[in-house]
Amino acid sequence: MAKSGRKLYFKRKRSRRLFRLGIGFLLLVGLVILILVFFNPWVWRLDLRSELEKGRFATTIYDRDGVPIAGLYAKTRLWAPISEIPIALQNAFVATEDYRFYQHKGIDFRGIIRAIYQDILAGRKVQGGSTITQQLVKNLFLSHEKSVLRKIFEMAYAIRIEQQYSKEDILEYYLNSIYFGHGTWGVQGGAEVYFGKSVNELTTSEGAMLAALVKSPEYYTPYRNPKAAIERRNLVLSLMQKHGYLEKTETEKLVLEPIGSLDRPGSTYVGAYFVDYVLSVLKQRTNYSEKYLRSAGLNVYTTMDREIQAVAEDAVETLPVSDLNQSGVIQPQGAAVIIKQSTGEILALVGGRRYNPAQLNRAFEIHRQPGSAIKPFLFAAALETGYRPETKLIDEPLEIIINGQPWRPQNYDAKYRGEITLRAALEESVNTIAVQLVQRLGAGNVFALAQRMGLENLVAEGYRNDLGPAPLALGGLTKGVTLLELTGAYTSIANQGTRSKPFGIFRVYDMSGKLIYQDRITQEPVITPETASELTSMMEGVVTRGTGIRANIGTKAAGKTGTTNRNTNGWFIGYSPEYLAGVWIGNDRSDQPLIIKGVPFGSGTAAAIWGGILRRISAKTAITPPNLPRR
């Protein structure tokens, strides 16, 4: 026998052995299930209606004054009787999730055997074997932990439910218990959130779209990932055809339909984008799912100042409108972050205009080139090593060899000023002076200080890295920065040389009152107070007579503009004695310039928005201390 033949023989033998072991395991599980079903009195008292009506406990998010943020995480679960759920929608779920639903008695042993066989052939888990009844059990009665014991209980409950309820009842409860993302459970809620209509009005294609979401509502949401959503919906339609619910001609027609004109789920409360940020942080740091966080009855106390948040949201909405992108989102977009620089508390965070929960949160989810908004970190390095604001350098044409190629940095106005002070060079954002400083100080030294000040995504290795004059002087960073990251890094200057790491959550308590998460003020001295004071003085000139003059609010303020190549991003990061704020404007397509009716705009508009925010919030008497429960 050839070597390859022997290898195939042993592989098949091993697969058969594993398959027999799987069957043996199923028999053992079946025995345990029988014992549970017939001797466990609790299993005999399953009540789907009361369990579903218990629902989940809405998590409450509070602002810094201890006031709940209106409408937050209130569960959307609207009951839809089976008589009002279109047959086509029912068929879509059955075809996709459990095509033998009407044949089995709660457990599809044929499906389990098929799944085990497919998993063995693939060498990994590729197919699930849970029936609709088992999924209903998981949704209502059991945790989502993965263990053999939980799976056995799931099967036992499924058998009992099939004994107590009709298939029609089970399907009705199931379709009202599914999570569809965006805080929504049940097909009625899903129909309203995704299509703005009642479930009984859904078309076959729309019903298939809801069925497509079950596998991963966060990934397949058509608001965020329309291409994947269409592909998944089309798979559902093909499964409906395969199992006899659609004719081939119907399927061919339906797969060509667009998802439709979706009314994006909106927000009527202040702080929706801030809540997105809070949810993202908790998902990362607690490893809980979004579904759990929304429905676990948590009490989350945040740093958000409702009044300042409202001002920031209004300011971002003042951006001019150019067009809608292919997803129907207004362009250009904007974002704003406001921080209490002395502590790092995030007072406001706005990730875009006209909030909907599936759009990007542009305050912390997108990375863009900062342009000249990076220059304060370079000038901080210069001041730390002995340069002074009145130190003079020559603004003149430069040629630098980088990777064997000549590079000639240009000033934004294509002019050269001759001898110029560092103060004037920062005020007028002179690129040639910034490039000379990187050369004189050493890219490694500037890089290290910028990292300590808070630019945590700088790249030190690889062919494309940030150890050079273009990234460190002009902001052409490999990965870019988020608005929150860049604004947070400015705390190092605004807080007299001490970096205050931004945070948005004070405490999180579970339903029993147990503290399960807490953020604290995290600070680190990174530059001397003298350097911070001198740099603030220089950046005040940016506002009073330099590139950021549109941010001039008539009182003490300092900041820096930033514009990237081809005018694709506009930034202004600045601070008053009380507040540090950052504003970004740009299009969701990173290569699309900021132009309206043929007129380009950028950092000047960002500076004007910043000024509008600071004028309004500066009238606020003081930032209130957090109102936290005493426990």
- pLDDT for res 41: 52
- Show which residues are catalytic: 97, 372
Q: How far apart are CA 347 and CA 304, in angstroms?
A: 4
pLDDT, tens digit, for every residue of 154-163? 888 888 889 8
Amino acid (1-letter code) at residue 96: T
Amino acid (1-letter code) at residue 532: A
- pLDDT for res 390: 98
- pLDDT for res 267: 52
Q: How far apart are CA 246 and CA 243, in angstroms?
A: 8
Q: How far apart are CA 63 and CA 502, in angstroms?
A: 16
Would you say how long the chain is, in residues?
A: 631
Low-confidence ranges of the chain (pLDDT < 50): 1, 8-10, 55, 71-75, 124, 126
CB 194 within 8 A of CB 180: yes
Q: In what helix (H) or strand (E) does residue 345 lie, and over which residues does it extend?
A: strand 345-350
Give me the torsion for CA of 198, 204, 209, 211, rounded to 10°.
90
CB 531 within 8 A of CB 422: no
The radius of gyration computed from the CA coordinates of the chain, to the nearest angstrom, equals 30
Query: What angle do the packed helices 431-441 and 443-453 form, to 10 degrees?
Result: 100
Q: Which two tokens stand for residue 584?
A: 């970004």
Q: How far apart are CA 120 and CA 25, in angstroms?
A: 14
CB 116 within 8 A of CB 124: no
Burial 337-357 (b: 16+ CB within 10 A, else e): bbbbbbbbbbbbbbbbbebbb
Three-state DSSP state, 505:
strand
How many Cα atoms are found within 13 Å in the side-chain-facing hemisphere of 606? Answer: 35
Structural domains of the chain sorted by starting position, each given as residue range(s) with its CATH number in brackets? 8-39+76-254 (1.10.3810.10), 371-479 (3.40.710.10)
Q: How far apart are CA 217 and CA 99, in angstroms?
A: 21
Residues 6+ away with beta carbon under 8 Å from 618: 553, 555, 576, 578, 579
- pLDDT for res 275: 92
Give me the torsion for CA of 517, 520, 525, 531, rounded to 10°.
110
CB 489 within 8 A of CB 453: yes
pLDDT, tens digit, for every residue of 175-216? 998 888 876 889 998 998 899 899 999 999 999 999 999 988
Residue of 107, 108, 106, 117 lying closest to 21 (CA atoms): 117
